[in-house]
């Protein structure tokens, strides 16, 4: 991977980060809209509770008036029917809207996962880059060892040829010049790994932030699923409340029938009292007992209604507290991510000016070092060949010279179709 590709990669990562941040903002807006819908639903529930309390009050007043029982029963049934229709309509509309929102959020999450998936290959590319740099460092080390070997060979010449000695002195000067350049080059090379480590660390932090953003989106989807389950439970509770209201309606009908029966019984007793004055006192006592029983039944119904209302209020307070705790945790986590994202935005522009000079220096050093090695070896081979021509034929070649000739013969016989890096290594060995 060259510098241009790395620059494009960093720009692409930055662009994807901005897209992810915009998507997170959109999801946050969606969550806020769902929160507002939940609040609206809460207000609607409170209005239903107020209506229910009003109906209970009307029912309590209706129990004391026998003549208006039928009219109140009819009004009560109509009001309950209207409330049920409104509730069912509101529930259907809210469920449809919530389903559309959830499908949209799930689709966006799937698209975000598809976009984040290619980031997994960047770590392998960085590792390959590190391996390539290690290979270059190893090749530089081998070249340095070969330079030292050649220096050692020229320090102990086998023959006392003046021309070779002069050439050795020139080579020693060249080697000394190269050795003077090597510490500076090593210093520059030693400065490269920390900067590359900083770059790797920045990329790793970026990948970690992307994974945390994905986890945050997954947590939000789980929160939405929890909210949906809570809605289902509330719908079940509303169904139970409707069933309780139906039972109360049946109980009200029974009480109305009892009141009607008591009224008829009272009228019949009055007629009997007109015919039987002797039993009037006992019958009045019995009637008073019946009315006392009726008052007791009304009080029991009132206490049951009060207990029912207190239970609903208690459950609603617990639900409100649970919702506040859930939304507080989400806000806290989002507030923790904001400073870290800002730090990443500040660090990314600082890395680009450091990456470009580093790769330029490394490429220029590799090219210059390879060219210098080739020129030096070519000149050394030419001078050695010239020296061999000047050496008398009766001089017996040394063992080192015989090995060199054998290596040259083997190199000429070997195939020449090899990569450039292998040719460079072979030239350095020769």
**Residue range 22-59, pLDDT digits in tens:** 877 887 787 777 778 777 777 777 777 777 677 667 66
pLDDT confidence of residue 336: 77
The tokens describing 321, both together, are: 């507290």
Rg (CA), the chain: 48
Q: Dihedral (C-alpha) 33, 37, 39, 41: value to the nearest 10 degrees?
A: 180
Closest CA to 33 of 86, 80, 98: 98
- The full set of domain ranges for the chain reads 3-390
As a whole number of angstroms, the distance between CA 213 and CA 208 comes to 9
User: Residues 232-251, buried b or exposed e (16+ Cβ, 10 A)?
Assistant: eebeeebeebeeebeebbee
Q: How confident is the model at residue 296 (pLDDT cuts 50, 70, 90)?
A: confident
**Which CB contacts under 8 angstroms, 24+ apart, belong to 103-109?**
104/30, 105/27, 105/30, 105/220, 105/221, 105/224, 106/221, 108/23, 108/26, 108/27, 109/217, 109/218, 109/221
pLDDT band per the 50, 70, 90 thresholds, residue 112? low
Residue 21 in contact with residue 341, Cβ under 8 Å?
A: yes
Helix axis angle, 3-63 to 162-275, nearest 10°:
10
Per-residue confidence band for 426, with pLDDT thresholds at 50, 70 and 90: very low
Q: How far apart are CA 399 and CA 158, in angstroms?
A: 10
- Whole-number Å distance between alpha carbons of 181 and 347: 34
Label residue 2 by pLDDT band (50, 70, 90).
low
Output DSSP code: residue 393.
T
Distances (CA, A) of 212 to 338, 340, 341, 420: 12, 11, 11, 45
Q: How far is CA 279 from CA 261, 273, 275, 276, in A?
A: 21, 7, 9, 6
* DSSP secondary structure of 353-413: HHHHHHHHHHHHHHHHHHHHHHHHHHHHHHHHHHHHHHS-TTSPPPHHHHHHHHHHHHHHH
Tokens of 252: 């009200």
Q: 418 pLDDT exceeds 60? A: no
Highest mean pLDDT among 132-136, 243-247, 351-355: 243-247
At 299, list the tokens: 């009080």
- Threshold 0.85, pTM exceeds: no
Q: What's the pLDDT at 58? A: 65
The DSSP symbol for 15 reads H
Q: Residue written as tokens 């002797």? A: 278
Residues near 44 by beta carbon (within 8 Å), at least 6 away in sequence: 87, 90
The Cα 218–Cα 212 span in angstroms is: 10
pLDDT tens by residue, 145-170: 776 776 666 555 544 456 666 766 77
d(CA 117, CA 120): 6
Question: What gap in Å lies between CA 132 and CA 127, rounded to an integer?
Answer: 9
Rounded Cα distance, 220 and 105, in Å: 10
Length of the chain: 430
Strand, helix or coil at 417? coil
Measured CA to CA, the distance from residue 411 to residue 226 in angstroms comes to 75
The mean pLDDT of 83-91, rounded to a whole number, is: 76
């Amino acid at each position: 991977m060259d510098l241009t590709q790395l620059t494009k990669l960093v720009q692409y990562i930055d662009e994807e980060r901005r897209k992810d941040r915009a998507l997170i903002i959109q999801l946050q807006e969606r969550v806020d809209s769902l929160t507002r819908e939940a609040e609206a639903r809460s207000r609607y529930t409170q209005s239903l509770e107020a209506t229910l309390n009003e109906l209970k009050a009307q029912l309590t007043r209706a129990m004391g008036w026998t003549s208006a029982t039928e009219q109140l029963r009819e009004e009560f049934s109509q009001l309950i029917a209207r409330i049920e229709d409104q509730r069912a309509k509101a529930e259907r509309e809210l469920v449809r809207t919530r389903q559309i929102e959830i499908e949209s959020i799930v689709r966006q999450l799937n698209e975000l996962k598809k976009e984040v998936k290619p980031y997994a290959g960047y770590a392998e590319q960085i590792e390959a880059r590190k391996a390539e740099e290690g290979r270059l460092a190893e090749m530089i080390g081998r070249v340095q060892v070969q330079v030292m070997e050649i220096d050692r060979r020229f320090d102990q010449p086998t023959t006392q040829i003046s021309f070779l000695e002069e050439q050795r002195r020139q080579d020693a000067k060249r080697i000394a010049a190269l050795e003077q350049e090597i510490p500076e080059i090593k210093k520059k090379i030693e400065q490269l790994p920390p900067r590359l480590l900083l770059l790797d660390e920045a990329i790793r932090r970026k990948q970690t932030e992307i994974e945390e953003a994905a986890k945050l989106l997954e947590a939000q989807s789980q929160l939405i699923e929890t909210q949906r389950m809570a809605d289902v439970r509330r719908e079940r509770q509303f169904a139970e409340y409707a069933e309780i209201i139906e039972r109360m309606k049946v109980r009200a009908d029974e009480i109305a029938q009892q009141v009607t029966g008591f009224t008829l019984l009272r009228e019949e007793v009055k007629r009997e009292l007109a015919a039987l004055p002797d039993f009037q006192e006992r019958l009045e006592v019995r009637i008073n007992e019946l009315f006392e029983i009726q008052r007791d039944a009304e009080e029991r119904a009132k206490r049951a209604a009060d207990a029912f209302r207190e239970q609903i209020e208690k459950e609603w307070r617990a639900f409100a507290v649970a919702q506040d705790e859930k939304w507080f945790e989400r806000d806290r986590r989002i507030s923790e991510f904001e400073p870290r994202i800002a730090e990443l935005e500040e660090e990314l522009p600082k890395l680009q000016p450091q990456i470009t000079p580093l790769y330029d220096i490394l490429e220029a050093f590799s090219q210059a070092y390879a060219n210098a090695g080739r020129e030096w070896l070519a000149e050394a081979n030419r001078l050695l060949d010239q020296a061999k021509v000047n050496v008398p034929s009766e001089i017996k070649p040394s063992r080192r010279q015989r090995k060199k000739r054998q290596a040259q013969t083997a190199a000429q016989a070997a195939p020449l179709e090899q990569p450039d890096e292998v040719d460079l290594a072979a030239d350095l060995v020769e």
